[in-house]
Structure 1
Amino acid sequence: MITFNISQWRAWAPGLQTAADWQAWSQAKHLPAEAEQAPDVSFLPAMQRRRLSRLARMAFAVGWPLAEGLQDVPLVFVSRHGETPRTFEILSDLANEQPLSPTQFSLSVHNAVIGLWSIMRGETSEMTALAAAGDGFEQGVLEAACLLGEGAPAVLLIVTEEQPPAAYGPRIDDVPFAYALGLLLTPGDEWQLHLGDNVGAVPSSEPHALSWLRCLLKGDSTCTHTWKSRTWNWQRKP
């Protein structure tokens, strides 16, 4: 079992930008927009913004405000599918025998987002990029909790997924809409997370990060997520 506090959170999806938007979403009163909307990252210089894909913009949009005023904050970045639109564009160029862009390739790798984060923030603390399975959210929390246990005063966790190109539709069915969730974890015992018995457990019908956020906004004190042989039990102190 691991324990920690979550001092702040931020989330973004098309049409869901404020805490009120997400509160309405948690009650099934507000659904994400289907438009190719990108988050506002005007806090970055224009030349830096140009390098950011939509996935990176989502990560920066939720993470930057949480890290504001803090120094030497480790970052754990989690995405199951990563830069699928960029990768698909590269593969399309290959199929059409077009020259490949070195910049496109360098920004398509899974740790590109944390590299850009380090450069743009001048951040040199520990950073990890996880390409986890369906329970990547919990794997990221576990990584962040380990960093807290090693003495970090706070750890930033960012979980984000981009809507994949249509060609990936038959293979990627766990991204209902593009989204990003950022959490600032600090030492404490407000939250508990542990692996439990998965006998008879029913897998979550939505990504674990979104399911957890829904439970948080509804005021639930417990939440259970199952992925294959692993069942993660969340508990929050009243």
Structure 2
Amino acid sequence: MMQFRIDQWRAWAPGLDSTDDWRAWCRAPVPLTDAQQQPDVDFLPALQRRRLSRLARMLFHVAWPLAEGHTALPLVFASRHGDTPRTLALLDELARGEPLSPTQFSLSVHNATIGLWSILRGDTSEMSALAAEGDGLEQALLEAGTLLGEGAPAVLLVLAEELPPALYAPHVDDVPFPYAVALLLTPGDDWRLQLHVGSGPRTDWPHALNLLRALCDKRHSLEHHWKNRRWIWSRTAA
């Protein structure tokens, strides 16, 4: 069992940005239309903004405000699918025999975004990029909990998923729309996470979105099943 406190949270999806937006969606969750909206990252220099994919923009948009006031803040980033549009574009160029852009290639690797984050914030804290399965949120939380246990006063956890290109869509059924969720975690016992062996029904929404519903509804418990892992979340504080 691990214990922690969710000090603050932020999330973004097409048409959903503010806390009130998310509360309204959580009361009646529905699929969202992706019109290729871009999260606002005007706080970054223009030259750097142009290098960011939408997945990276989502991370910066939700995480930057939570990092304000922290000169050193460990970061755990998790994404099951990563930046699939950029990766597919590179594969397409290879298939056509075209030379690859060194910049695009360097930015396509899974940890490129947290590298840019470290550079732009001037933060050399420990940072990790995880490529987990359907329980990536919990896997990232275990990583963050380890950092808290080692004495970090706070850890930033970000989970983000981009809508896959049409070519991948028949094989990816767990990204209903692009979204990013950021949690500022601190030591405490407001929340507890336990892992048990056991299977159960798959939820209608990715678990990061189900967690937002629990936070907005002030729910005191929720479960997440993935393969033979049964994750039990419980809240001890009101």
**TM tier, shorter chain?**
over 0.9
Q: SS at 2:167's partner residue?
A: helix
1:207 alignment partner in structure 2 = 206
TM-score (norm 1): 0.97
Residue pair 1:134, 1:227 contacting (<8 A) in 2 also: yes
Distance 2:178 2:166 in 1: 14
* Counterpart residue identity of residue 210, structure 1: L
Distance 2:33 2:167 in 1: 21
Residue pair 2:194, 2:231 contacting (<8 A) in 1 also: yes
Residues 2-28 of structure 1: per-residue CA shift (max 9 Å, x gap): 000010000000000111110010011
Q: SS at 1:164's partner residue?
A: coil
Residue pair 2:31, 2:176 contacting (<8 A) in 1 also: no
Residue pair 1:24, 1:30 contacting (<8 A) in 2 also: no
2:224 matches 1:222: no
Residue pair 1:137, 1:159 contacting (<8 A) in 2 also: yes
TM-score (norm 2): 0.97
Residue pair 1:25, 1:31 contacting (<8 A) in 2 also: no
In the TM superposition, residue 215 of structure 1 has moved relative to its aligned partner by: 1.7
Distance 2:197 2:136 in 1: 19
RMSD over aligned CA atoms reads 1.1
Q: SS at 1:213's partner residue?
A: helix
1:163 alignment partner in structure 2 = 163
Residues 115-153 of structure 1: per-residue CA shift (max 9 Å, x gap): 000110011000000000000000001110110000000
2:81 alignment partner in structure 1 = 81
2:42 matches 1:47: no
2:235 matches 1:233: no
Q: How many residue pairs align between the two structures?
A: 237
Residue pair 2:34, 2:178 contacting (<8 A) in 1 also: no
Distance 1:100 1:167 in 2: 20
Residues 138-187 of structure 1: per-residue CA shift (max 9 Å, x gap): 00011101100000000000000001100001111110000000000000
How is 1:131-210 mapped onto 2 (pairs within 5 angstroms)? 131-199=131-199, 201-210=200-209
Residue pair 1:72, 1:124 contacting (<8 A) in 2 also: yes
In the alignment, structure 2 segments of 5+ residues that lack a partner are none
In the TM superposition, residue 99 of structure 1 has moved relative to its aligned partner by: 1.1
Distance 1:135 1:30 in 2: 21
In the TM superposition, residue 29 of structure 1 has moved relative to its aligned partner by: 6.3
